[in-house]
Chain A
Amino acid sequence: MINEHFKMATNSLRNNKVRTFLTLLGIIIGVTSVTTIIGLGEGVKKQVNRQISSLGSDIITVVPGRSAGDGGLDSISSLLGSATGSTSNLSQKDLSAVDSIPNVSLAGGTMVLDGSVTQDDKKVSTQILAVGENYLELTKQKLSSGQFFGGDLTNNETVVLSQNIANKLFGDRDPIGSSVTIRDTNFIVIGVLNEQAGFNFGKSLSNTVLIPLPTGTKLNQDIMQLQQITLSLDNPNDSAKTSQDIRSVLLKNHKGEEDFTITTQDQLVNTTDSVFKMLTSFTAAVASISLLVGGIGVMNIMLVTVTERTKEIGIRKAVGATKFQILMQFLIEALVITLTGGVVGIILSVILGYIIKAQTSIVPSLDPWILLLAAGVSLSVGIIFGTWPAIRAATKEPTEALKHE
């Protein structure tokens, strides 16, 4: 019987091609936009999480400023806000204190200074990060050429450029060994960063130069204001306990004032997860308005169809159709529209995904569950918006329906 209803529905829809196409269009646009947006959100979330986990699960960061809540947007913004050059209350003392905690294998501080790098007559505004010798190890960054601070280098006026800055200042020339000027001080370029590797907590390193932490302190009137302390652990499984140890040590240093935020990798992953979930849900909700409009279009057209076919309903009832059989006929007609729209929408969003992937650095993630969700949503739209017109059709009195012209 379902098969027969399906045949009747497709026949009836074929009889009104333009009307069917326009109704379909509403559903197609709705499903495509919702699916694409969820796919984009998922894709970006996965990319960010991948970058975070590339650091390893043994990393804890401490940033100045207090997070209002446990996780959420605050901890993200405090992390991202750590590199704005604002005054900080994390000092050399704090760095040394956390370094001496048992489970901490490496501890490195980062100062953020604003300034510019000059080479001959070329000047580039840049973000200057003053970092410790263990920076590369802590952040899993790599150099594309040259070497890093420390080791046998005793000269403190050395700098590591990002690839982008190196290109801007030196073009095709090899910058290693050349001299650049930062805040009226000459620095020797000793290395160039490979920006593709590693991750710097949401900050792009393409416009960054790195200088040794003591030099940075010197440039900052000999005051060490750390915008971030990064720690790696011997035993990542104890990160919660170590995080507690860090907290008590810093509280002691800060006279009981908790003016810092400690974030473990797990927290960071959870936070980005929840932030992206929130963002995706919000944008998907906005996009689903178009699906709602599409659904209303289906309901509208089904009501018109029911009115147009009142006499037919009367005839069908007169020859023995039950209310349920009439209801199913019209409900299946609505479902055929929304499911066809859903399938076309899914195909379009997959195509759009490939286009976005080819044109941008974002890789939308159209997991099977998203596609199944889209199919489920279009089925639900059909049921929600097709039921009322179908009920109206089913409850028509046969004698009244037969009189309809």
Chain B
Amino acid sequence: MNSIELTEVSKSFGLGVGATTVIKDVSLSVPKGEFLVIMGPSGSGKSTLLNIIGLLDTPDDGIYKLSGKDVAYLSSRRRAKIRRNNIGIIFQNFNLIGRMNVLENVSLPLLYKGVSTVKRYERASEILKYLGIQEKEYYLPNQLSGGQLQRAAIARAMVNRPSIVLADEPTGNLDTKASKVIMAALKEIHQAGNTIIMVTHNPDLAVYADRVIKMVDGRIEEELTGKNMDADIALQQKEATQHVRTAKNPAIEPQPKAKKKPAKKASAKKSVVKKSKGKTS
């Protein structure tokens, strides 16, 4: 029962008057097996929240219970042990070690668990096969495409069979096709019973979620589940599409027309977007 329980967790950076509060009294409960998506603008504190959940960072205040145990203020050694055994992390920029081949990168978490070299590589190879990039296991990261790199990163996150997978903008550096492959992989991992917490900007990815939380200025502004969530996703997708279309207009349409009207239209639409965002929050 790997449930995540955050109670009034706060985190700020810097000291004294220069201190910036990134997370303010965030309370969040994630039951085992949930696919949670955290959305929000840049600087809203979603990555910091993910780092705290992943025990890469400690909160200044509040309680963080993992499977009922208070883990927020444990020693770095015990936090490392929990990360190694229970948590897999996927980063936006893959974070593979450049001078190590894919197999070595993927098997790295098992190294710190004390697993023998042969068993490590066997398990890494097995998961790479599952993710469809076994033939690349002896390649260096710089010889792989973005999608392949992220699949390798997912393999690394999954190699120690964690019950919780944290993904920070996993498709942020990928094209649509590669994104779909990655999301399909995450979906499968979720269906296998794992808890997934994913941070993203992309409303399209919210369709995979059981629940979406939206963060603004370090607080959870909104929580969406079921129909609410579907409606919100649809709205956001529509807005995003319109935004993209209007933004693209000046480039697509002939220059003379682009000079006057489209510019106005664009600004008008943007204000609508802002307004609607304001409403939802």
Task: List residues of chain A with CB under 8 Å of any chain B CB.
Answer: 1, 4, 11-12, 15, 311-312, 314-325, 397-399, 402
Contact residues of B between 203 and 218, Cβ < 8 Å to A: none
| Residue contact B77 to A320, C-beta cutoff 8 Å | no
Query: B140 to nearest A CB, angstroms?
Result: 12
Q: Are A319 and B156 in contact, CB atoms less than 8 angstroms apart?
A: yes
Q: How far is the CA of A250 from the CA of B182 in the complex (A)?
A: 103
State whether A4 touches B56 (Cβ < 8 A). no
Chain B 89-103: CB-based contact to A (< 8 A → 1; otherwise 0) = 101000111010000
Q: Quick check: A319 and B77 within 8 Å, CB to CB?
A: no
The B interface, classified by DSSP as helix, strand, loop or mixed, is: helix
9 contacts between A and B (CB under 8 A): A1-B114, A11-B99, A12-B99, A15-B99, A318-B56, A320-B80, A320-B160, A325-B112, A402-B95
Contact A320 B113 (CB under 8 A): yes
Binding site for A on B (CB under 8 A): 51, 54, 56-57, 76-77, 80-81, 83-85, 89, 91, 95-97, 99, 108-109, 111-114, 117, 156, 160
A319-B56 CB under 8 A given contacts A4-B111, A311-B95, A402-B95: no
Which of A318, A325, A397, A399 interacts with B95 by CB under 8 Å? A318
Partner of B77 from the list A316, A318, A323 (CB cut-off 8 Å) is A323
Which 7 A/B pairs are nearest by Cβ-Cβ distance?
A320-B84, A319-B109, A322-B80, A320-B112, A398-B56, A320-B83, A322-B77
Give the residue among B56, B80, B99, B109 with the most A Cβ atoms within 10 A: B80
With both beta carbons as reference points, the residue of chain A lying nearest to B76 in the complex is identified as A323
Which listed residue, B76, B97, B112, B160, touches A312 by the CB 8 Å rule?
Answer: B97
A320 touching B81 in the complex, CB below 8 Å, given contacts A312-B97, A325-B112, A399-B57: yes
Check B108 against A316 for contact (C-beta < 8 Å).
yes
Q: How far is the CA of A324 from the CA of B81 in the complex (A)?
A: 12
The answer to whether A322 and B99 have CB atoms under 8 Å apart is no
A324 to B77, CA, bound (A): 8
Tell me, in angstroms, the Cα distance from A325 to B95 when the chains sit together.
Answer: 19
With A315-B97, A398-B56, A402-B95 as contacts: A320 and B51 at CB distance below 8 Å: no
> In the bound complex, how far is the Cα of B184 from the Cα of A287, in angstroms?
65
A residues within 8 A CB of B56?
Answer: 317-318, 398-399, 402
B81 touches A322 (CB 8 A): yes
> Cβ of B95: which chain A residues have Cβ within 8 Å of it?
311, 314-315, 318, 402
Please give, as numbers and ranges, the residues of chain A lying within 8 Å of B51 by CB-CB distance.
399
